[in-house]
Structure 1
Amino acid sequence: MRTLGMIGGTSWHSTIMYYRLINELVGEKIGTGANPPLIIHSINIQLMREQNKEKINTKYLEVSQKLQNAGAEAIVICANTPHMVYSYVQPKIKIPILHIGDAVGKEAARLSLSKLGLLGNKPTMTGSFISGFLEKEYGIETIIPIEENIERSHYYVSQELTQGKFTDEAKDFYLEQIKLLHERGAQGIILGCTELPILIQQGHIDIPLLESTNLHAQLAADFILGKE
């Protein structure tokens, strides 16, 4: 098995999900009597809340270099939003960062989906680090909610979901957003917040949900097992 470096902490709930999923997915292949070699560095989530891009880039580069020097053969960033650092960090290290967009793009291609709705916090929805990656690498169009609902989604993610709070109000809001995105042509929905799959499951809607966390964890497991 190959050694994987994990950058977590944004949030720690997300990191736990990644750690569990990667171990479970690898365990399905090697048996539960063994586990994969993982190196975890957890970053204080306050760094992301400061929204200082230069500071965030610098920290993620520093951590990536530490993981590389510690023996990691690839890195997985255990959340959606921190992928904003990918274009800055990847050229400066010698090992690959397994991009969450690749995980989503491969699944969308498998399902023959060319237009996806994207839900998450404001940076994830309005930034290009996922939507732009999907368009460039997979030719997938991404659509997002209207401005006022972007702000409301950001509130739920930053003030509730990443702090372990899951309410019926938030669930109803996201189900309504999925309906509206579908009406605008979305063939599937990217759950672009690691905690969203805790709130919304496939049984709640009739179009495909692309759970970025699960798909990303599978990409990580495939790397560990040499399957990618």
Structure 2
Amino acid sequence: MLFQTFHPKPGQETRPVSQKVIGLIGGMSWESSAEYYRIVNEGVRDRLGGLRSARCLMWSFDFAEVEALQHAGRWDDATALMIDAARRLERGGADFLLICTNTMHRMAAEVQAAVAIPLLHIADPTAERIRASGHRRVGLLGTAFTMEQDFYKGRLADRHGLEVLIPDEADRATVHRIIYEELVQGRVEAASRQAYREVIARLVERGAEAVILGCTEIMLLVKPEDSAVPLFDTTAIHADAAVDLAIAGFTPSPAAP
């Protein structure tokens, strides 16, 4: 393996450790995947300096195919697509994987079981960031699948001890509609920003100490000034965690820029 620990003999120089290759399962939608690409490259440059950038591979879906499976409830077929993407990235040389969407973490366990390289689950660094900030009761915004099913909020509660609040039925429908009818199509509307502000305010009224932007497109619409409590952007947090993992133990060559 490329990143096995190297144990030099006495007097032998240590071989530099390369950056790990980040495998990105993207295209769901490409707007947020472009943010992942930007964040991981800016993160590597900022931390390592010079002309450094991330070593990464991306498999990008035609999102129309994935969206059709989601709304038809054909999750087994969607899982098969995700496993195929993960295996392609593994064969291509990725050292670990990210699923660049919250919703498709519904099949994270199946994807992880299908490959030998680690999957960095989006909920884990998000929860760690929230706990480090001292918050325990959080609101969750995302697709209806993410808000209503247990694969995501259950992980936050069971593994990380967070109390998760979701919007009421009408607000969930609004949040979901804006994601699929606008954000994944690159549309950012002022009226929709106001709608999200109102949903967030109602979560705060119910006791939310912070709010998770649990869809990777929401960060295109909602900014810190739109909320009275801290917002936790899963796109940025997930990508930052990938940078941490990619450069852990990295020892650049003295000749490198």
TM-score band, normalised by shorter chain: over 0.9
1:33 and 2:51 aligned: yes
* CA displacement, residues 63-108 of structure 1 (integer Å, 9 cap, x when unaligned): 1111111111100111111111102111221111111101211111
Q: State percent identity of aligned pairs.
A: 32
State the AA in 2 paired with 1:92.
A
1:183 and 2:201 matched: no
Give the 3-state SS of the residue equivalent to 1:7 in structure 2: strand
Q: What's the counterpart of residue 174 of structure 1?
A: 196
Distance 2:50 2:162 in 1: 37
* Bigger Cα displacement from structure 2, 47-56 vs 102-111: 47-56
Larger Rg: 1 or 2?
A: 2
RMSD: 1.1
Counterpart CA distance in 2 for 1:204 and 1:11 is 23
Change in 2 beyond 3 A, CA 1:106/1:204: same
Partner-residue secondary structure (3-state), 1:130: helix
Maintained 8 Å contact 2:44/2:54: yes
The answer on whether the counterparts of 2:140 and 2:212 sit within 8 Å (CA) in structure 1 is: yes
What letter is aligned with 1:217? Answer: A
- With structure 2 as the length reference, what TM-score do the two structures score? 0.86
Report if the CA contact (8 A) 2:212-2:234 is conserved.
Answer: yes
Q: Give 3-state SS (helix, strand or coil) of 2:159's partner.
A: helix
The answer to whether the Cα contact below 8 Å between 1:47 and 1:56 also exists between their aligned partners in 2 is no
State whether structure 2 residue 155 is matched by structure 1 residue 142. Answer: no
Report what 1:120 is aligned to. 142
Structure 2, unpaired ranges of 5+: 1-18, 250-257
Structure 1, 29-38 or 57-66: larger mean CA deviation: 29-38
Q: Distance in 1 between matches of 2:198 and 2:138?
A: 16
> Do residues 130 (structure 1) and 135 (structure 2) align?
no
Match of 1:53 in 2: 75
Structure 2 residue aligned with 1:211: 233
Aligned to 1:160: 182
Retained in 1: the 8 A contact 2:143–2:179? Answer: yes
TM-score, normalization: structure 1? 0.96
**Could you tell me which residue of structure 2 aligns to residue 20 of structure 1?**
38
Structure 1 residue 133: deviation in Å?
Answer: 1.0
Taking the aligned partners of 1:174 and 1:57, their CA distance within structure 2 comes to 30
Residue equivalent to 1:103: 125
Corresponding residue pairs, total? 227
CA positional deviation for 1:48 = 2.6
Give distance in 1, aligned partners of 2:67 and 2:58: 21
Do the aligned partners of 2:44 and 2:52 also contact (CA within 8 Å) in 1?
Answer: no
Would you identify which runs of 4 or more consecutive aligned residues in structure 1 move more than 3 Å?
Answer: none
Q: Deviations over 1:132-178 (max 9, x none)?
A: 11112101111111112111211100010110111111101110011
Deviation at 1:32, TM superposition (A): 4.2
- Hey, what does 2:10 align to over in structure 1? none
